[in-house]
Amino acid sequence: MTKEAGNNEEKIKLITTDDGSHSLYVPNLNETYHSFHGAVQESRHVFIEMGLAHQKSRGLKNIKIFEVGLGTGLNALLTAEFAEKHQIPVHFTSIEAFPVDFELIKQLNYTSYLDLPKAKSWFEKIHTSQWNEDIVISPFFTLNKIQTKLEDYVAQGSTFDIIYFDAFAPNKQAELWDITILSDISNSMKHGGIFVTYCAKGQLKRDLQSLHLNVETLPGPPGKKEMVRASK
Ligand SMILES: C[S@@+](CC[C@H](N)C(=O)[O-])C[C@H]1O[C@@H](n2cnc3c(N)ncnc32)[C@H](O)[C@@H]1O
């Protein structure tokens, strides 16, 4: 993605996806932040159910997550909801090169999808909190936002239980799906850690396999046939 495409915020538009939840559209890339079949539906399925709930079912108690692309903060918010509901401490590191303008964030309707009165204040805190430090958003959810490009970020080895790989699609932003990036990501995963993404491209699966990850092709969210989960 060019710098222009990433931070030219006046051009990013609010859209409504098929499940009624909002997303953002980037005209320069002709790309949306989420599936147009349903943003909340996609996030819940790919990242929460196939990622977080899967690791919880394996008995993990303290879960460390790394997200590629904080974007609207939807994945962060739904993760905070899960952590609260199941009383599981989650530490969430999210990298974002081009933060979304807060005026646009305020228009997003995500908190109405959560049955939690605190969701609104959490969502605001997710976006207004300091970068590059641990911020307690709720008793079970701590956020560390990193404002830099993924290409420039050096993650520590064997740190994360889950990777939410939520970059724009490979045909829009190929550099973020490069094997060198995937290799660094794989190194940052703990043994038993998982990588989840909405993308199910053959090249991605071959690359993840070449990094000795165990690749599963799982049913995708409504409107999308498949997704990928890779385990270390
Ligand atoms: C598909 S959207 C992420 C959606 C997000 N997870 C959400 O819930 O709204 C991709 C995100 O990656 C960010 N991004 C683009 N290039 C990046 C880069 N080189 N490094 C880190 N983040 C980048 C974009 O600004 C955008 O927020």
Residue 95 Cβ inside 6 Å of ligand 1? The answer reads: yes
Q: Extract the tokens encoding 5.
A: 């495409």
Residue 105 Cβ inside 6 Å of ligand 1? The answer reads: no
Hey, how many other C-beta atoms are within 10 angstroms of the C-beta on 104?
16
> Which residues lie closer than 8 Å to 222 by C-beta, 6 or more apart?
19, 37, 38, 41, 45
The pLDDT score that the predictor gives to residue 69 is 98
Residue 98 Cβ inside 6 Å of ligand 1? The answer reads: yes
Q: Which of 170, 162, 221, 226 is nearest to 195 (CA)?
A: 162
Residue 150 Cβ inside 6 Å of ligand 1? The answer reads: yes
Q: Domain 42-231 belongs to what architecture? A: 3-Layer(aba) Sandwich (3.40)
The mean pLDDT value for 118-139 works out to: 97
Testing ligand 1's pocket by substitution, the residue of 36, 110, 166, 182 carrying the most ligand atoms inside 8 A of its CB is 166
The pLDDT score that the predictor gives to residue 206 is 98
Residue whose CA is at the smallest distance from ligand 1 atom 12: 69
The pLDDT score that the predictor gives to residue 11 is 84
Residue 167 Cβ inside 6 Å of ligand 1? The answer reads: yes
- Cα(92) to centroid(ligand 1), Å: 15
- Cα(150) to centroid(ligand 1), Å: 9
Residue 5 Cβ inside 6 Å of ligand 1? The answer reads: no
The mean pLDDT value for 181-187 works out to: 98
Residue 21 Cβ inside 6 Å of ligand 1? The answer reads: no
Query: Torsion-angle region of residue 207: left (phi > 0), alpha (psi -120 to 50) or beta?
Result: alpha
Ligand 1 atom closest to residue 7's alpha carbon, by position in its atom list: 25
Q: How far apart are CA 185 and CA 181, in angstroms?
A: 6
Q: Tell me: the pLDDT tens digits for 47-72?
A: 999 999 999 999 998 999 999 999 99
Q: Tell me: the pLDDT tens digits for 66-108?
A: 999 999 999 999 999 999 999 999 999 999 999 999 999 999 9
Ligand 1 atom closest to residue 176's alpha carbon, by position in its atom list: 19
Q: Tell me: the pLDDT tens digits for 140-150?
A: 999 999 999 99
The pLDDT score that the predictor gives to residue 2 is 41
Residue 97 Cβ inside 6 Å of ligand 1? The answer reads: yes
The pLDDT score that the predictor gives to residue 182 is 98
Query: Torsion-angle region of residue 122: left (phi > 0), alpha (psi -120 to 50) or beta?
Result: alpha
